[in-house]
Amino acid sequence: MKIALAGQGAFGVKHLEAIARIEGIQVSSLAGGNAEQTAEVARKFNIPHWTCDLAQSLAQPGIEAVILATPTQMHAKQAEQCMRAGKHVMIEIPVADNLADAERLLKVQQQTGLIAMGGHTRRFNPSHQWIHQRIAAGELKVQQMDVQTYFFRRTNTNALGQPRSWTDHLLWHHACHTVDLFQYQTGETASRVQALEGPKHPQLGIAMDMSIGLKVPSGAICTLSLSFNNNGPLGTFFRYICDNGTFIANYDDLVDGYQKPIDVTKVAVSMNGIELQDREFFAAIRQKRQPNASIAQVLPAMRTLDRLEKSLGS
């Protein structure tokens, strides 16, 4: 399968590293936002064609699908561009930075009949899959998810420490991971939501700290704290407080409430959540089925984010 990747930055590279471990996939074109960096990444991963124009990538012979790892604000427009060009598309989280664009993408997907998937990696991390399997088997029930998403981003830089051409967002990007995961693990949509934000950055214009609370009809709650002001440790830490145990997930790793490691190596064919996410995308294309984290499946999270954003103004 020939695919194109859009985005030469930190997350685009993570996808290229993951795809290198998946048989039968060829990245035939790389579309980037910076010519020098795009050329360098293309050389490193032996990608035969690179460009700074996504349309040129879409026009390359044999391209069936596209992975978008571009700035958040470009996701919705580029995803529609890909589908209108007849290409399946995976859009890195979030699929859009507002509800109206996300709903439009679902309509385009339904019109074209193509595979359109959100890059909701938490659904695929072995740690969260282990929890999900036990919830499905009736062995666990979530009572509370206590989540911390902490970074030190007082300057506009990416995960590699390089200057960013766009501004990140605690609600529409980082909270999206947890909002979707909480609703995915409980199998319910939040019935009550609340959000608070701290002072906004004087230059970036975004809130640097945020607190979010969610509750689903069954009674389970989610408490989420987010910050761009936290100076280590960095990342997202998920504490599952369940009726039958407490578990702490950090990306692909899992321990119990007493820090005892839990073996998740047999959960899937890889220990890399991004690779598992990409495998699901390619498998859905080949099998002509809806993928886990399809646009339709992640839309409830976008609707909850919209409600949270509106609650900030109240």
Amino acid identity of 80?
A: E
User: In terms of domains, do 17 and 115 share one?
Assistant: yes
Whether 160 and 307 map to the same domain: the answer is yes
Task: For residue 94, say if its preceding peptide bond is cis, omega within 30 degrees of 0.
Answer: yes
What pLDDT was estimated at residue 60? Answer: 98
Query: Residue 314: its pLDDT value, please?
Result: 54
Whether 88 and 176 share a structural domain? no
Average pLDDT value for residue range 249-259:
96
Q: Which of 138-152, 154-168, 178-192 has the lowest mean pLDDT?
A: 154-168
Statement to judge: residues 96 and 170 lie in one domain: no
Q: Are residues 50 and 111 in the same domain?
A: yes
The per-residue DSSP string of 156-189 comes to SB-TTSPBPSS---IIIIIIHHHHHHHHHHHTS-
Whether 304 and 159 share a structural domain: yes
Predicted TM-score of the model (pTM) = 0.94
Assess contact for 249 and 125: CB atoms under 8 A: yes
- Strand ranges of the sheet holding 2-6, from the earlier edge strand across to the other edge: 49-51, 26-31, 2-6, 63-68, 88-92, 116-119
Please give the pLDDT value at position 168: 78
Domain range for residue 42?
2-121+274-294
Residue 207 DSSP label: B
What band does 43 get if pLDDT is binned at 50, 70 and 90? Answer: very high
Give yes or no: residues 38 and 147 share one domain: no
Mean pLDDT of 165-184: 90
Instruction: Please state the rounded mean pLDDT for residues 35-61.
Output: 98
Q: Reply yes or no on whether the pLDDT at 228 is more than 80.
A: yes
Query: Do residues 19 and 272 touch, judged by C-beta distance below 8 A?
Result: no
| Ramachandran region, residue 47 (left: φ > 0; alpha: ψ -120 to 50; beta: rest) | beta
Q: Is the pLDDT of residue 208 over 70?
A: yes
pLDDT at 202: 85
Query: Which of the four pLDDT bands, split at 50, 70 and 90, describes residue 34?
Result: very high
As a whole number of angstroms, the distance between CA 217 and CA 193 comes to: 12
CA dihedral in degrees (81, 84, 85, 87; nearest 10)? Answer: 90
Contact 33, 4 (CB under 8 A): no
What are the tokens at 241? Answer: 């407080």
Q: Once rounded to an integer, what is the mean pLDDT over residues 247-268? A: 97
User: Residue 217 contacts by C-beta under 8 Å, 6 or more apart in sequence?
Assistant: 188, 191
Collapsing DSSP to helix, strand or coil, 201 comes out as: coil
pLDDT in tens, 91-144: 999 999 999 999 999 999 999 999 999 999 999 999 999 999 999 999 999 999
The whole-number pLDDT of residue 18 equals 98
CATH value at residue 186: 3.30.360.10
Specify the DSSP class assigned to residue 10: H
Number of domains in the chain: 2
The Cα–Cα gap between 36 and 15 comes to 19
Residue 206: the pLDDT is 85
Q: Are residues 182 and 257 in the same domain?
A: yes
Residue 232 pLDDT > 60: yes
Instruction: For residues 135 and 226, state if they share a domain.
Output: yes
- pLDDT, residue 241, reads 98
Q: Is the peptide bond before 233 cis (omega within 30 degrees of 0)?
A: yes
Q: The CATH number of the domain where 89 resides is what? A: 3.40.50.720
pLDDT at 153: 74
Residues 27 and 116 placed together within one structural domain of the fold: yes
Residues 13 and 44 placed together within one structural domain of the fold:
yes
* Residue 188 pLDDT > 70: yes
Q: Does 204 have pLDDT greater than 90?
A: no
Q: How confident is the model at residue 270 (pLDDT cuts 50, 70, 90)?
A: very high
Q: What is the mean pLDDT of residues 206-228?
A: 96
Query: Does 158 score more than 70 pLDDT?
Result: no
The DSSP output letter for 91 is E
Q: Does the pLDDT at position 201 exceed 90?
A: no
User: Is the pLDDT assigned to residue 12 strictly greater than 90?
Assistant: yes
Same-domain status, 192 and 71 = no
Helices (H) and strands (E) in the chain, counts: 9, 13
pLDDT of residue 166: 58
**Residue 70: partners with Cβ closer than 8 Å, 6 or more residues away:** 6, 7, 33, 78, 92
End-to-end CA distance of the chain: 49
